[in-house]
Chain A
Amino acid sequence: DAKTTQPPSMDCAEGRAANLPCNHSTISGNEYVYWYRQIHSQGPQYIIHGLKNNETNEMASLIITEDRKSSTLILPHATLRDTAVYYCIVRVEGSQGNLIFGKGTKLSVKP
């Protein structure tokens, strides 16, 4: 599985958009980009995933660059409850087995 690089921490003002970047320059053509988050002391929560087109759901939007070497997770209106560690994971969708979590980005949403 390809490796990802994320900033260790970010701050965001409550009500503003939070843009979390992820670099995955060695991603393969059949690997998807997945985002999970872990709110303090809870189990990780799936957010969104995509291959090459931008994706949006009720939680977030995922923007993947045309060359697929990087992506951005966007929380359009961050709230205090979005404070969490956000993990970017790349993986072949058809593969079975475990998720590989890196260190992620600690997002702090401030009032």
Chain B
Amino acid sequence: NAGVMQNPRHLVRRRGQEARLRCSPMKGHSHVYWYRQLPEEGLKFMVYLQKENIIDESGMPKERFSAEFPKEGPSILRIQQVVRGDSAAYFCASSPYPDRNEQFFGPGTRLTVL
């Protein structure tokens, strides 16, 4: 059973470009969480999604950031018009049930904005 997969592992963008980060949860998991980790800081929650629904986006910046988890395919975290401050590691986690706090994390995508 493959773990949570994220791609790309490393992504370089210039200021103003768009970044798309993909997350494939573990098989059978329908709950996905995105976290961001700025350099030398702890993980911060961004958004919680179930299939086709955003459940909690209280940690998402109000502008430029969006997330989806379609019925088919991976979850996508999209950052429009990236700025240098968006440089960070973005981790995705999945769980099989909404009330389980045992979340399984992917290896992360490291975004560098030049």
A98 touching B108 by the CB < 8 A rule? no
Q: How far is the CB of B1 from chain A (nearest CB, A)?
A: 15
Q: How far is the CB of B106 from chain A (nearest CB, A)?
A: 5
Given contacts A98-B56, A98-B59, contact A42 B99 (CB under 8 A): no
B33 touching A102 by the CB < 8 A rule? no
Given contacts A44-B91, A94-B99, A95-B99, contact A100 B105 (CB under 8 A): no
Majority SS of interface residues in chain A? loop
CA distance A42 to B44 in the complex (A): 15
- B98 close to chain A: CB less than 8 A: yes
A44 touching B55 by the CB < 8 A rule? no
- B107 close to chain A: CB less than 8 A: yes
CA distance A99 to B98 in the complex (A): 12
A93-109 residues with Cβ-Cβ distance < 8 A to B are 93-104
Interface residues of A (CB under 8 A from B): 32, 34, 38, 41-46, 49, 87, 89, 91, 93-104
